[in-house]
Every structure is written in C-alpha cells, then in structure tokens.
Amino acid sequence: MDIIYFLAGFGILAGIYGVFTLGLNVHWGYTGLFNIGVAGFFALGAYTAALLTTAPPSPELFEDFVFGGNLANTLQLGIDLWFFVALACAAIVSGVVALVVGAITLRLRDDYLAISTLGIAESVRLMFLNEKWLANGSRGLSDIPKFLGDFVTPKQYDLLYFAVVIIVLAALYFVIQRAINSPWGRVLRAIREDEEATAAAGKNVFRFKLQAFILGAAVMGIGGALYAHGFRYVDPMVFDPLLATFIVWVMLMVGGSGNNLGALMGAFIVWGIWSGTQFLPPEINNPNLRFFLIGFLLVLVIMLRPNGMIGERRRVSEGGT
Amino acid sequence: MTSSQIDNNPIRQSTGGQTADSQPILEVRDLVKDFGGVRAVDHCSLDVMPGTITGLIGPNGAGKTTLFNLISGFHKLTAGTITFLGKRIDGMEAHETFHAGLVRTFQIPREFKYMTVLENLMLVPANQEGERIWASWFTPWRIAPQERAIERQALETLEFLNLDHLKDEYAANLSGGQKKLLELGRTLMAKPKMILLDEPSAGVSPALTDLLMEDIRRTQEETGITILIIEHNMRVVMSLCDPVIVLSEGRKLMEGTPEEVQRDEEVLRAYLGFSGEASAAAGENTAHETAPNEAEFGETKAGA
C-alpha cells in the first residue's frame, strides 16, 4: 500500500511541474518568449497563497514577522473556500508582475526578456529572503493549511491532494488548449515564427506577446499556489533556479515544446527519473547520478528527437467545409 | 465584425470611389531617413496613382527597400510626410499601416515556417473575433463561422495561385518560388487597397517568374488594386509596370514609361556609372533585350 502513497506524492509534484511546463509552453513553445525566470512566478504564486491563508507563526520563534495573512480565519470563510481564492490571487499577482515586466521588455529584443526574467526571479527570491517582515525570511512559512484536510486522515491527504492537482492540471490544460487552438493561438505561433511578418499581417505583436506572457505567468502562479498547499511549507530555497526553472525547461524540451501533451509527459518523465534515482542500489546511488541521467536524457532527446518526444503537431485542415 | 462581413472572394476588391483618378493614392513628400551618418532616403518625393502597377527601380543602395520600410511603418522616418488615401500614415506602426489598407511583402520571403500553407493565409484577415484571448473560452460560437469563411477565402486564394495541393504542407517545405507566391497570397488575404511588392522575382526561375507576373497582373486587373513593385528584373519591369519611378541616392531621379526610363541618360549614368556614347550603347542593348534571359539592369550591369 505504501507504494500508492509514494506514487501520490510523486504525482503531486510531477503534476505541479506539469502546470509549470504548461505555462512555459505558452511562453516558449507557442510564442517564442524566452522566459528563464519560471522560479519567480512560482515563488510569487506560492507566497501569495501562503500569505493569504497561513496563520502567523508564534512570535517567540519569529521575531521579525509582522505580516501574516491568515485571512482565512479572519474573514470566516473557511480554508476550503480560501483555497480557490488563493489560487486565483496567485494567478493575479503573477499576472500583474508579468504585465509590468512584459510592458517594459517585450518591445525590446528577445534577449532582454531573458535577462529580465532571470533577474526578476532572483529578485523575488531575495526579497522574500531579506524582507523578513514580509514572509519570515529564510525560516519560511510553515503550516500552510490543507485543502479539504478535515475530511481525510493526514496519511490520506496526499491521495486527495493528488486528485486536486490532477483536476487543476486538467482544467488548465483544457483552457490553454482552447486558446492555443483558436485564432489567438495562431497569431502566437506566427509571432514565434516571424515577428515582423506577423506585424506586416496587421497583428499588434506587442499586445499578443504581452497577453501570452501574462497567461503563462498566471498559470505558473497557480502552480506555485498548488505547491504551497501541497507541501505546506515554503522558504526562499525552494525557488532556486535549478529545481524551479531549469528543470522545467528540460521537461519541456524532452516532452515536446509546442505540444501541451508533450509538455505534461516531459514533466512526469523527467520528474520520474529525478525521484526514481533514490531507489537505485546504494553502490551506484550517487546524488550526482540524477544530474547525469537528466543531462543524458536531454542530450539523447535532442539528438534523436529534436522536437521532443511528442513534438508540435501539424494542423492539417479537415478538407473543406 | 460578423462573419457575413467577410468577403469570400479572394480577389474581388473595391478600391475605387475613395479617390478621384487624378488624385494619387500614395503621396510621399520630402522623405528623409538617416541611419546614423548615412542618409538612405534624401528628400524623396513621389506619387503613386490608383489602379497602376508602378515600378520602383534603382541601383543597389538607392533606398528602395528603405522607402518601403518607411511607407509600411517598419522604420521611423527622420523627416517628411507620407499620405495614403488622403490620410497621413507616417508615424504609424507596421500593423497600423496594414489596417489603413497598405500591405507589403519582403524581399526574402518570410513565411511562417512551421505553420501550414493554409494557416499562413488564414492568419491574415483583420478583425478576427477569435483573436481575442478570451473568445475561445467565453464566445466560441462566434469563432467557428468566421473561421469557416476565412478558410474558404484562403482555399480560393490558394487555388488562384495554384498552391491548393500544398495547403497542409509546412510553409518551410515550399520551394523559393512557391514561397513568393505564398507571400503574394498573404497580401491578397488582406484585401488591401495597395500592395508593396519587394522584388517579387528575386531568386525565382524564369518560368515561375512568368507565372508570378501573370498572377500580379491578374490580381491588378480583377481587383483594381494599386501595386508598387521594387524590381531589378527589367523584363518584369518592362512588361508589368507603368509608370516606372527611378530612385538614385535616396531620391527620385525620374519617372516615366518603361521605354522613357530605359532611354534616359541620367538613369543609365546612375545605374552604370558612365555616360555619353557608351551609355547610349548600353541603353540600346537593354532596350532590345527581348529574349527571356534575365537582364538584371541593376545587378549584373552595374557590377560590370
């Protein structure tokens, strides 16, 4: 039976990574926006959810901490309803930050977006680390409330939350697919192929890029909120670039950029390798092995299937109407 | 805009009415463009009359493509004015000039590589309901009929260009000449008032050039659209364009019928860099070049 709990725990994180790869796919896979600051939107989403719902830690332990949302209790709404508010607010906060960053950088050359997203991600992390009054600095926020936690035993919570993650993931997948398959998504793909030609076709390239940037960032923010309520603890170390940005890129590259199913598959495969290495026999179980394996997989996929395991699907017309 | 407003005929187009025939559709006045210390366009003034296929020729570096970039809003001008259909369009961005009714192609085809040929065309029409980010979530029923109409228009355009058998192919897999046709198709999808074609025959085989010329001529005849063409291939200019405007060193050198332009001494000097009897001889040669070999007035001879 324990294997089920392990799989649920694995599935929660893989599913949350799936949310990030969906968001990154909107940015990179469909629009060609080079966002290397996934961690920033992850952190904004996670902290937004945590700050809104978590009771302040006891003052003896946490001297500097003055702001603790705990709105859930203050406003008598019940944490289970607050979960949805937290998810929505996480999306909004990430989206607003994306709006500001995008409005400044999306008119410039692509490289500026890369530089600024990397910078923003690190700034967000350092802000939460150093502004101790805001979110308790390096000690982080713990005891983030469970969603529907009263209905199950603590052990079963993972199973329940796995279902929650999958439902949210499926909903996001559906919403993004709809948008990408619409004429709106067609403009994004045209921008990815050639910005100037898209402008020559009368499209306001900046506006579409900004919309895509905000949508992808909001999705990442929701992923962050899911993380906060799943692991119930956040501190700035969670959002280090390796596990919060670059692994998401590897997942997208492996699975197939420009294909949302591929993006999800990449998340589960890469996270499977990452967390599966712990079961290797002790003789070969070296912590560096997982880095090697992930790198090896990436090289293999890029050499053998440059578009990822399932790359972008060609949109064949249905032959007349 | 509702689906019923989308005209399904790819080539029917109303251009007349807005301007009397004596009024130019496009007026360029005293246009200046500096790139750092280089003056690419130097107080250039020219008019394009509605319903014409006007040629724009000149040696390399004369400022032809820069002029296109200025008119279509891809570059910001340093000074001067551009008026299109009586409305100032200088200062407009590229996508805004499109909506004013002015569509351009690029010298090197810029197809959307990893989109199908059909999608390349379906992207273009303006005011698509489905281009709103929320339309697919909240008002999907408004998208479908419009998409069907646009798809029909795109298929008709592909038939017109003889590309319909390639509709589901990635644009990246097309030949150079087919990509040129695709560019032309994209401009037709826009139902513009005026098209700027940047070297439509560059890199295209003579046989396909004939086809392309025929398509351009048919487009003009059937739609009454105004076309301004940058072209080095004198065979194309001679048979397609009237009038022809010659640019040199960023300004208009002369304007006239193809015959007048080819006989003009100053034009020959600008192209060939010498004058007098030699240029007259060269002029004779070029004028008599009736065989379908590519007489590249600007490229090959100027390089000699």
- How high is the pLDDT of residue B284? 43
Where in the sequence is the domain holding A146, given as residue range(s)? 2-240
pLDDT of residue B190: 94
The set of residues, in sequence order, having a beta carbon less than 8 Å from that of B92 and lying 6+ positions away, is B73, B100
Of A305-314, B99-108, B226-235, B279-288, the one with minimum mean pLDDT is B279-288
DSSP helix/strand/coil, B193: coil
Nearest chain B CA: its distance from A195 CA (Å): 10
Count the domains in chain A.
1
Query: Is A279 a domain residue?
Result: no
Domain assignment present for residue A214? The answer is: yes
Predicted local confidence at residue A62, as pLDDT = 56
A153 contacts: CB under 8 Å, gap ≥ 6: none
Res. B66: pLDDT tops 60: yes
Specify the DSSP element, H or E, that contains B53.
strand B53-57
- Report the C-alpha gap between A321 and B93 in whole angstroms: 36
Identify the helix (H) or strand (E) that includes residue B212. helix B206-223
Cβ distance A187 to B140 less than 8 Å, yes or no, reads no
Q: Return d(Cα A90, Cα A86) in angstroms, integer.
A: 6
**Model pLDDT, residue B261:** 86
A119 in helix, strand or coil? helix
Q: Strand ranges (DSSP E) for chain A?
A: 141-142, 233-234
Q: What is the pLDDT of residues A250-285, one digit of tens each?
A: 999 999 999 999 999 999 999 998 888 878 787 777
Pick the CATH number of B14-121+172-264 from 1.10.10.60, 3.40.80.10, 3.30.70.20, 3.40.50.300: 3.40.50.300
pLDDT, position A302? 85
Cβ–Cβ of A211/B112 closer than 8 Å?
no
Residue A106 counted as domain residue: yes
Among candidate residues A152, A154, A147, A173, the one with its CA nearest the CA of residue A49: A147
Q: Which amino acid is at B140?
A: P
Interatomic CA distance for residues B299 and B74, integer angstroms: 25
- pLDDT tens readout for residues B152-200: 999 999 999 999 999 999 999 998 889 999 999 999 999 999 999 999 8
Residues of chain A in contact with residue B128, where contact means CB-CB under 8 angstroms, are: 183
CA–CA separation, A176 vs A19, rounded Å?
11
Q: Which of A182, A198, A307 to mutate to test the interface with B (most CBs of B within 10 A)?
A: A182
Split at pLDDT 50, 70, 90, the class of B78 is very high
State how far residue B250 is from chain A, nearest Cα, in angstroms: 24
Chain B nearest CA to A140, separation (Å): 37
Taking contacts as CB-CB distances below 8 angstroms, the residues of chain A near B170 are 314
From chain B residues 102-161, the ones with a CB under 8 A of any chain A CB are 103-106, 110-116, 118-119, 122-124, 126, 128-133, 135-137, 140, 143, 147-148, 151-152, 155
Residue A44 resides in a domain: yes
Nearest to A238 by CA among A310, A140, A304, A104: A140
What does each of the 321 residues of chain A score in pLDDT, given as a tens digit? Answer: 688 888 999 999 999 999 999 999 999 999 999 999 999 999 999 999 998 888 776 665 555 555 555 565 555 566 677 889 899 999 999 999 999 999 999 988 888 999 999 999 999 999 988 887 778 888 888 888 888 877 888 888 899 999 999 999 999 999 999 999 999 999 999 999 999 999 999 999 999 999 999 999 999 999 999 999 999 899 999 998 888 999 999 999 999 999 999 999 999 999 998 888 878 787 777 778 888 888 888 898 888 888 888 888 888 876 543
DSSP B234-297: HHHHHHH-BSEEEEETTEEEEEE-HHHHHH-HHHHHHHHS--THHHHHHHHHHHT--SSS--BI
Please say whether the dihedral angle defined by the alpha carbons of residues B35, A114, A27 and A122, taken in this order, is positive or negative: negative
Whether A271 is covered by a domain: the verdict is: no
Contact B48, B26 (CB under 8 A): yes
Q: Does the distance separating the beta carbons of B115 and A189 come in below 8 Å?
A: yes
Decide: helix, strand or coil at residue A69.
coil
Percent of chain A surpassing pLDDT 90: 57
Backbone angles phi, psi at B252, to 5 degrees: -75, 125
Residue B207: strand pairing partners:
none
B253-273 pLDDT, tens digit per residue, is 889 998 888 888 888 777 766
